[in-house]
Amino acid sequence: MSSSLAAKLPQDADPLGLRRQLARADRRRKWRAFALTLPLLVFLLLTFLVPIAALLKRAVENPEVANALPRTVVELRAWQRQDVPAPEAFAALVRDLGALTDSSYAGALARRLNSEAPGARSLIMTTYRALPLEGTDAASPPALFKERLLALDARWGQTKYWEAIAKNGSRWTPDYLLTAVDLRRDPQGSIERVDPGQRVFGAILLRTFGISALVTLWCLVLGYPLAYWLSTLPARRANVLMILVLVPFWTSILVRVAAWIVLLQSEGLVNHALMGLHLIDQPLALLFNRTGVVIAMTHILLPFMILPLYSVMAGVPPTYLRAAVSLGSPPLAAFVRVYVPQTYPGIGAGALLVFILSIGYYVTPALLGGPSDQMLSYYIAQYTNVTVNWGMACALGALLLAATLVLYATYRRVTKTELSLG
Amino acid sequence: MKTSTLVATLALALSLPALAQQQLTVVNFGGANANAQKKAFYEPFEKTGTKVVAVEYNGEQAKIKVMVDTKNVTWDVVEVESPDVARGCDEGLFEKLDYAKIGNKADFVPAAVTDCGIGIFVWSTVMAYNGDKLKVGPKTWADFWDVKKFPGKRGMRKGARYNLEFALMADGVKPADVYKTLATKEGADRAFKKLGELKSSIQWWEAGAQPPQFLVAGDVVMTTVYNGRIDAANREGKNLVIGWTGGIYDLDYWVIPKGDPNKDAALKFIAFASTPSAQAEYAKNIAYGPTNTKALAKLDAKTLSNLPTAPANAKDALQFNLKFWADQGEDLEKRFASWATN
On whether the CB atoms of residues A223 and A353 are closer than 8 A, the answer is no
* Among the ranges given (A10-14, A90-94, A130-134, B97-101), the one the predictor scored with the smallest mean pLDDT: A10-14
What's the rounded mean pLDDT across residues A272-290?
87
Beta bridge partners of B203: B155
Taking only residues 212 to 271 of chain B, the set having a beta carbon closer than 8 angstroms to any beta carbon of chain A reads 217-219
Surface-to-core class of residue B127, CB atoms within 10 Å of its CB (0-12 exposed, 13-18 middle, 19+ buried):
buried
List strand residue ranges (DSSP E) for B45-196, in order.
51-56, 77-81, 118-130, 154-157
Name the residue facing A388 among B65, B328, B342 (closest C-beta).
B65
Q: Quickly state the pLDDT bin for B67 (edges 50, 70, 90).
A: very high
pLDDT confidence tier of residue B130, bands split at 50, 70 and 90: very high
Judged against a pLDDT cut of 60, whether residue B270 lies above it is answered with yes
Q: Give Rg (Cα) of chain B.
A: 22
**Looking at the complex, does the CB of residue B59 fall below 8 Å from at least one CB of chain A?**
yes
Nearest to B341 among A103, A204, A387 (CB): A204
CA-based diameter of chain A, in Å?
102
Gap from B151 CA to chain A (nearest CA, Å): 14
Contacts of B335 in chain A (CB under 8 A): 197-198
pLDDT at A12: 56
Mutate to test the interface with A, among B330, B336, B342 (most CBs of A within 10 A): B330
The pLDDT, as a whole number, for residue B4 is 54
Q: Is B342 on the interface with A (CB under 8 A)?
A: yes
Q: Which residues of B touch A372 (CB under 8 A)?
A: 340-341
Strands (E), chain B: 23-28, 51-56, 77-81, 118-130, 154-157, 202-205, 222-226, 240-255, 289-290, 318-319
- H or E segment at A107? helix A103-116
Please give the average per-residue pLDDT across B45-51, as a whole number.
91
B335–A197 CB contact, under 8 Å: yes
Q: What is the mean pLDDT of chain B?
A: 89
**Position A1 confidence tier, pLDDT thresholds 50, 70, 90:** very low
Q: Return the SS3 of A191.
A: strand
Give the least confident one: A207-221, A330-344, B19-33, B244-258: B19-33
Does any CB of chain A come closer than 8 Å to the CB of residue B335? yes
Q: To the nearest 10°, the Cα dihedral for B260, B261, B266, B267?
A: 90
What is the rounded CA–CA span in Å between residue B59 and residue B79? 8
Phi-psi region of B238 (alpha: psi -120 to 50; beta: other; left: phi over 0): beta
DSSP codes, A241-285: HHHHHHHHHHS-HHHHHHHHHHHHSTTSHHHHHHHHTTS-SSPP-
CA–CA distance, A183 with A191 (Å, rounded to integer): 7
Q: What's phi and psi for A26, nearest 5 deg?
A: -60, -45
pLDDT of residue B7: 52
Select the more confidently predicted residue: B22 or B86: B86
pLDDT at A185: 86
User: Does the structure show a pLDDT above 90 at A136?
Assistant: no
Q: Give yes or no for residue A265 having a pLDDT over 50.
A: yes
In this predicted structure, what is the pLDDT of residue B183? 92
A266: chain B residues, CB-CB within 8 Å: 217-219
How far B219 CA sits from the closest chain A CA (Å)?
6
The reported pLDDT for the residue numbered B20 is 47
Q: Which residues of A touch B (CB under 8 A)?
A: 102-104, 106-108, 110-111, 114-115, 118-122, 125, 197-200, 203-204, 207, 265-267, 288, 366, 370-372, 379, 384-389
Q: What is the pLDDT of residues A298-316, one digit of tens each?
A: 999 999 999 999 999 999 9
Q: Give the separation between CA A196 and CA A182, rounded to whole angstroms.
A: 9
Neighbouring-strand partners of residue A10: none
What does the pLDDT read at residue A420?
54
**φ/ψ of residue B290, rounded to 5:** -70, 150
* Residue numbers in B near A371 (CB within 8 A): 158, 204, 336-337, 340-341
Whether chain A has a CB inside 8 Å of the CB on B66: the answer is: no
Q: Quote the pLDDT of residue B18.
A: 47
Cβ–Cβ below 8 Å for B338 and A119: no
Residues in chain B within 8 Å Cβ distance of A104: 90-93
pLDDT, tens only, A365-396: 988 888 888 899 999 998 898 888 899 999 99
Among candidates A94, A106, A81, A96, which has minimal Cα distance to A142?
Answer: A94
| Confidence bin at B60 (pLDDT 50/70/90) | confident
pLDDT at B1: 42
Q: With contacts defined as CB-CB under 8 Å, which chain A residues touch B331?
A: 118, 198
Q: Which residues 6+ apart lie within 8 Å of A144 measured at CB?
A: A135, A136
Query: Are A313 and A228 contacting, i.e. CB atoms less than 8 angstroms apart?
Result: yes
pLDDT higher than 70, residue B161: yes
Residues 6+ away with beta carbon under 8 Å from A166: A73, A76, A77, A79, A81, A187
Question: How high is the pLDDT of residue A9?
Answer: 53
What's the distance, CA A206 to chain centroid? 13
CB A181 within 8 A of CB A194: no
By CA distance, what is B65's nearest residue in A? A388
How far does the CA of residue B106 sit from the closest CA of chain A (Å)? 23
Distance CA A132, CA A314 (A): 79
Residues 90-149 of chain B with CB under 8 A from chain A are 90-93
Average pLDDT over residues B180-184: 93
Average pLDDT, chain A: 88
Closest chain B residue to A376, measured at CA: B337
Residue B105 DSSP class: G
Nearest CA-CA partner of B340 in B164, B159, B147, B152 = B159
The alpha carbon torsion through B277, B280, B281, B282 (nearest 10 deg) reads: 120
* Chain A residues closer than 8 Å to B89 by CB: 107
Instruction: Encode pLDDT of A162-183 as tens digits.
Output: 999 998 989 999 999 999 999 9
Task: For helices A142-152 and A120-130, give the axis angle rounded to 10 degrees.
Answer: 120
Question: Is A267's CB within 8 Å of B330's CB?
Answer: no
Assign A155 to helix, strand or coil. Answer: helix
- pLDDT exceeds cutoff 80 at A138: no
The conformation of residue A137, written as its DSSP 8-state character, comes to -
Does this model's pTM top 0.90?
A: no
Query: Which one of A267-271, A276-280, B88-92, B162-166 scores highest in mean pLDDT?
Result: B162-166
Mean pLDDT of B274-298: 93
> Which of A226, A296, A308 shows the shortest CA–CA distance to A255?
A296
Chain A contacts of B92, Cβ < 8 Å? 102-104, 107
Query: What's the confidence (pLDDT) of residue A2?
Result: 46
User: Least CA distance to B69: which residue of chain A?
Assistant: A104
Are residues A389 and B330, on separate chains, in Cβ contact within 8 Å? yes
SS3 helix, strand, coil % of chain B, rounded to 5? 50, 20, 30
pLDDT-derived band at A318 (thresholds 50, 70, 90) equals confident
B109 Ramachandran zone, left/alpha/beta (phi>0; psi -120 to 50) = beta
- Point out the residue among A104, A121, A379 whose CB comes nearest to the CB of B326: A121
Give the closest residue to B122 by CA, choosing from B303, B272, B291.
B291
**What distance in Å separates the CA atoms of residue A251 and residue A261, rounded to the nearest whole number?**
16
For residue A342, the Cα-to-chain-centroid distance in whole angstroms is: 33
| Average pLDDT over every residue of B239-246 | 93
Distance from CA of B49 to the nearest CA of A (A): 34
Q: In this structure, how many other beta carbons lie within 10 angstroms of the beta carbon of residue A29?
A: 10
Phi and psi at residue A150, to the nearest 5°? -65, -35
Q: Does B203 touch chain A (CB under 8 A)?
A: yes
* pLDDT tens-digit series, residues A12-63: 567 778 888 999 999 999 999 889 999 999 999 999 899 999 999 999 999 9
Residue A245 CA, chain-centre distance (Å), reads 28
Q: What is the DSSP letter of B95?
A: P
